[in-house]
């Protein structure tokens, strides 16, 4: 018999499992039971349409047997089973790996991480066993096969005997070490406690042979072993239980098991809705982004159940894109069990459910924002970008749903504020909402343009996320207050009088500015004096719809060869000595004026966080100045 090799990713994962220092080894049992339960569901589902399968819901069960002496625990089900190809495919490859690139997982922290993030499922058996056997027979076949493996070296598959259809997973439990008492997994009370903890809601009975000692009638101090099968789980799905019965850890354990997370969620939402649509929903807001959130493998959606039976693993129609990070499930009495994916899309009932789910999520987020700011901010750090995309996408159709969920760091206390808080805090007479954007808060604070706005006592929203400005552009105003970029030409904080003085200065220097603009090969739309810079000599501002930061973002996107260009203006501080110097040079020494113009333009680019076009020339000009 040939030893088959695991697919390479599976082999690495297997290595990890065998040498795992993961502290929650006990989860192997819930993984094996959850596979058994899925197999029962699959066959039950088939039996609903195929009357040849003469099985009732109550015929399905999971059986656990413990053989303490031989250190074996086995889990059997009478579910769909696997044929030889399926066995090879399903247990020779790890299902959930996707295109994830396995790093060498030696560090403890990473080890925990990876086990938590994958639904590593079946392989977790190797955390506690040194040998695993899977005997399986499909419902409609008389051939059974046995898969065996002692670890990363590979596995074998051979034909075997099996009287009944379904699958038995036999785990040979490792011997105890100083650190690890594997024998606990051979203790019937420990096992039944684990089932209560992790698998209580499984819809099918999980039965175990219990051996108890009973006194023998009429004989004092004499006992006999009595063997009985007990059902260990309550079989009521968690979401069907009343809230008062459940503790936060019940919800959290369920979440971690079902949705492959290693951390508790930030929040769970358990609701029962009656009326036009009747359904139970259990929704979770995760603490952090799923590892594959920004890959094409990520699929949004909620599990969809009809009367307690899973009919779809990821029903994407139940979640709008901007809430795609929500995990959870919906169970409705109103949906037919064998509804197809295509039919679902047009199902009015499903649409009603989706609307209700969306409203519920929104109101819970609003509640969290009001009552638990810290948790909300943590949530926003993980998923705020998604909400901002939600505002921007589809031409802003959802902006009103989402605008009050946004947070931006503000210049006042460098803390998150909502748009409402900003507006409530506005100074007397302030008509606009000011913002500034850049790579980081530190860099934004260095922007010369911020000083003037702050000096006037206005608060500025700091935008560091690429999507921020696009989202604000889509909103265009909040509560009647327009959003104004401090780096935009339209920023006007001057009194009419000051404005007039500046206009006169600009008119007088018109020819000089034309000359400077020509020197810069028309890289800027205009050159002007400004009085909004405190101590800085120059800055670069933009006019029109595209700001300097938006230009950067748009041009960083892959694919598009046609680069966009913001319309820029080189602004020179009218009160800075450089202004006078330029005027003198224009009158006497236009050669030097050209050089200074180039230098000032480079400076303005650098301050604004852009790169300069010709660094070699820039450096040459600087050295020339230094050696003068
Ligand atoms: P997952 O369950 O997350 O898909 P696993 O590694 O736990 O990943 O299992 C891999 C696959 O093996 C399952 O998807 C399923 O097709 C199959 N499998 C595992 N256990 C059983 C079982 N008891 N009965 C039938 N098929 C099973």
Q: What is the mean pLDDT of residues 324-345?
A: 80
Nearest protein CA to atom 19 of ligand 1, as residue: 35
Give the ligand 1 atom nearest the CA of 119.
Answer: 3
**What confidence tens digit (pLDDT) does each residue in 113-152 have?**
455 444 467 888 998 999 999 999 999 999 999 999 998 7
**What confidence tens digit (pLDDT) does each residue in 214-263 have?**
888 888 888 888 888 899 998 888 899 999 999 999 999 889 878 888 89
Residue 179 — very low, low, confident or very high, per pLDDT cuts 50/70/90? Answer: confident
Which residues have CB under 8 Å from 308's CB, separation 6+?
Answer: 203, 237, 240, 331
Question: How far is 517 from 505, CA to CA, in rounded Å?
Answer: 17
| pLDDT over 90 at 103, yes or no | no
| pLDDT over 60 at 59, yes or no | yes
Distance 528 CA to ligand 1 centre (A): 69
What is the enclosing helix (H) or strand (E) of 29? helix 27-49
| pLDDT over 70 at 20, yes or no | no
Pocket test for ligand 1, best of 75, 79, 90 (most atoms within 8 A of CB): 90
| pLDDT over 50 at 99, yes or no | no
**What confidence tens digit (pLDDT) does each residue in 451-488 have?**
889 988 999 999 999 899 999 999 999 999 999 999 88
| pLDDT over 60 at 568, yes or no | yes
Nearest to 134 by CA among 63, 208, 82, 59: 82
Nearest protein CA to atom 18 of ligand 1, as residue: 35
Distance 80 CA to ligand 1 centre (A): 11
Question: How far is 601 from 369, CA to CA, in rounded Å?
Answer: 44
Distance 34 CA to ligand 1 centre (A): 9
Which residues on adjacent β-strands are paired with residue 543? 567
| pLDDT over 70 at 104, yes or no | no
Which residues have CB under 8 Å from 257's CB, separation 6+?
Answer: 27, 30, 34, 198
Distance 385 CA to ligand 1 centre (A): 35
Distance 35 CA to ligand 1 centre (A): 5
Looking at residue 55, its pLDDT comes to 86
Q: What is the mean pLDDT of residues 336-346?
A: 67
Cβ atoms of 459 and 450 within 8 Å: the answer is: no
The secondary structure of 401-444, three-state, reads: HHHHHCCEEECCCCCEECHHHHHHCCCCCCCEEEEEECCCHHHH
**What confidence tens digit (pLDDT) does each residue in 376-391 have?**
999 999 999 999 999 9
| pLDDT over 50 at 496, yes or no | yes
Cβ atoms of 464 and 436 within 8 Å: the answer is: no
Looking at residue 94, its pLDDT comes to 55
Distance 247 CA to ligand 1 centre (A): 30
Give the ligand 1 atom nearest the CA of 31.
Answer: 7
Nearest protein CA to atom 12 of ligand 1, as residue: 90
**What confidence tens digit (pLDDT) does each residue in 290-320 have?**
777 877 888 899 999 887 777 788 899 999 9
Pocket test for ligand 1, best of 11, 16, 95, 202 (most atoms within 8 A of CB): 95
What is the enclosing helix (H) or strand (E) of 145? strand 144-151
Distance 72 CA to ligand 1 centre (A): 20
**What confidence tens digit (pLDDT) does each residue in 419-450 have?**
999 999 999 889 999 999 998 999 999 888 89
**Token pair recorded at residue 617:** 């020339």
Nearest protein CA to atom 8 of ligand 1, as residue: 121
Query: Which of 172-186, 582-596, 600-614 is predicted least confidently?
Result: 600-614
Distance 17 CA to ligand 1 centre (A): 17
Residue 338 — very low, low, confident or very high, per pLDDT cuts 50/70/90? Answer: low
Nearest to 155 by CA among 131, 136, 124, 138: 131
**Does the pTM exceed 0.85?**
no
Distance 86 CA to ligand 1 centre (A): 10
Helices 577-588, 510-519: inter-axial angle, 10-degree rounding: 80
Looking at residue 110, its pLDDT comes to 45
Distance 10 CA to ligand 1 centre (A): 14
Give the ligand 1 atom nearest the CA of 96.
Answer: 3
What share of the chain in percent tops pLDDT 70? 93
Query: Ligand 1: residues whose CB is within 6 Å?
Result: 31, 35-36, 39, 77, 79-82, 90-91, 95-96, 119, 121-123, 167
Distance 94 CA to ligand 1 centre (A): 9
Across the chain, mean pLDDT equals 88
Rg of the chain in Å (alpha carbons)? 34
Nearest protein CA to atom 13 of ligand 1, as residue: 90
Comparison of pLDDT for 295 and 21, the residue scoring more: 295
| pLDDT over 50 at 278, yes or no | yes
Comparison of pLDDT for 93 and 479, the residue scoring more: 479
In which residue are the tokens 């070296």 written?
Answer: 153
Pocket test for ligand 1, best of 35, 44, 87, 127 (most atoms within 8 A of CB): 35
What is the enclosing helix (H) or strand (E) of 600? helix 590-607
What is the enclosing helix (H) or strand (E) of 570? strand 567-573
Using the Cα atoms of residue 607, residue 613, residue 615 and residue 618 in order, give the sign of their dihedral.
negative
Cβ atoms of 311 and 352 within 8 Å: the answer is: no
Beta strands in 161-258 (DSSP E): 166-173, 206-215, 223-231
Nearest to 300 by CA among 268, 281, 322: 322
| DSSP alpha helix (H) spans, 188-247 | 188-199
Nearest protein CA to atom 4 of ligand 1, as residue: 95
**Token pair recorded at residue 29:** 């049992």
Nearest to 53 by CA among 31, 72, 80: 80
Q: What is the mean pLDDT of residues 498-516?
A: 94
Question: How far is 439 from 49, CA to CA, in rounded Å?
Answer: 58
Pocket test for ligand 1, best of 14, 30, 34, 38 (most atoms within 8 A of CB): 38
Residue 337 — very low, low, confident or very high, per pLDDT cuts 50/70/90? Answer: low
**What confidence tens digit (pLDDT) does each residue in 35-50 have?**
999 899 889 888 888 8
Query: Can you list the domains of the chain with their CATH numbers?
Result: 3-231 (3.30.565.10), 238-371 (3.30.230.80), 390-485 (3.40.50.11260), 496-626 (1.20.120.790)
Nearest to 47 by CA among 75, 5, 76, 78: 78
Q: What is the mean pLDDT of residues 578-593?
A: 95
Pocket test for ligand 1, best of 122, 258, 259, 314 (most atoms within 8 A of CB): 122
């Amino acid at each position: 018999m040939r030893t088959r090799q695991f697919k390479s990713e599976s082999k690495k994962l297997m290595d990890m499992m065998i040498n795992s220092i993961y502290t929650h080894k006990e989860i192997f049992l819930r993984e094996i039971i959850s596979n058994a339960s899925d197999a029962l569901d699959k066959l039950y589902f088939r039996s609903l349409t195929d009357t040849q399968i003469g099985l009732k819901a109550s015929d399905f069960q999971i059986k656990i047997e413990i053989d303490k002496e031989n250190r074996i625990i086995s889990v059997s089900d009478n579910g769909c089973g696997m044929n030889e190809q399926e066995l090879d495919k399903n247990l020779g490859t790890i299902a959930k790996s996707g295109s994830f690139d396995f790093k060498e997982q030696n560090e403890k922290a990473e080890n925990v991480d990876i086990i938590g993030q994958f639904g590593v499922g079946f392989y977790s058996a190797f955390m506690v066993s040194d040998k695993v056997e899977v005997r399986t027979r499909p419902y409609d076949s008389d051939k059974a096969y046995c898969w065996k493996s002692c670890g990363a070296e590979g596995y074998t598959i051979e034909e075997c005997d099996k009287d009944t259809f379904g699958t038995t997973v036999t785990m040979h439990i490792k011997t105890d070490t100083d650190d690890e008492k594997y024998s606990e997994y051979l203790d019937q009370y420990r096992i039944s406690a684990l089932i209560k903890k992790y698998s209580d809601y499984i819809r099918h009975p999980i039965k175990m042979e219990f051996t108890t000692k009973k006194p023998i009638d009429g004989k004092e101090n004499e006992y006999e072993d009595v063997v009985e099968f007990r059902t260990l789980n309550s079989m009521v799905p968690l979401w069907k239980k009343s809230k008062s019965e459940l503790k936060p850890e019940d919800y959290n354990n369920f979440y971690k098991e079902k949705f492959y997370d290693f951390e508790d969620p930030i929040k769970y939402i358990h609701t029962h809705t009656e009326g036009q649509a009747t359904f139970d929903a259990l929704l979770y807001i995760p603490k952090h982004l799923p590892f594959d959130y920004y890959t094409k493998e990520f699929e949004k959606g909620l599990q969809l159940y009809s009367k307690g039976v899973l009919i779809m693993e990821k029903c994407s129609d139940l979640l709008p894109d901007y809430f795609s990070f929500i995990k959870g499930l919906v169970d409705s009495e109103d949906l037919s069990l064998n509804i197809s994916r295509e039919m679902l899309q047009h199902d009015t009932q499903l649409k009603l459910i989706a609307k209700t789910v969306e409203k519920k999520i929104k109101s819970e987020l609003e509640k969290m924002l009001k009552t638990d700011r810290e948790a909300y901010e943590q949530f926003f750090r993980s998923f705020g970008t998604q909400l901002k995309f939600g505002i921007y996408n589809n031409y802003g159709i959802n902006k009103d749903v989402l605008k009050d969920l946004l947070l931006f760091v503000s210049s006042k206390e460098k803390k998150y504020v909502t748009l409402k808080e900003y507006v409530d805090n506005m100074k007397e007479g302030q008509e606009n909402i000011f913002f500034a954007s850049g790579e980081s808060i530190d860099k934004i604070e260095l922007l010369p343009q911020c000083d003037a706005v702050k000096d006037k006592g206005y608060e500025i929203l700091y935008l560091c996320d690429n999507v921020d400005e696009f989202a604000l552009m889509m909103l265009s105003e909040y509560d009647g207050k327009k959003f104004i970029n401090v780096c935009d030409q339209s920023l006007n904080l001057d009194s009419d009088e000051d404005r007039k003085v500046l206009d006169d200065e600009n008119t007088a220097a018109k020819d000089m500015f034309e000359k400077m603009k020509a020197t810069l090969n028309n890289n800027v739309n205009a050159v002007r004096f400004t009085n909004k810079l405190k101590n800085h000599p120059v800055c670069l501002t933009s006019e029109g719809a595209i700001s300097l930061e938006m230009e950067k973002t748009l041009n960083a996107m892959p694919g598009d060869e046609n680069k966009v260009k913001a319309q820029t203006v080189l602004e020179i501080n009218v009160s800075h000595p450089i202004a006078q110097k330029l005027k003198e040079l224009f009158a006497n020494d236009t050669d030097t004026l050209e050089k200074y113009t180039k230098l000032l333009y480079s400076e303005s680019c650098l301050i604004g966080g852009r790169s300069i076009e010709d660094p070699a020339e820039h450096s040459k000009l600087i050295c020339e100045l230094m050696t003068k």
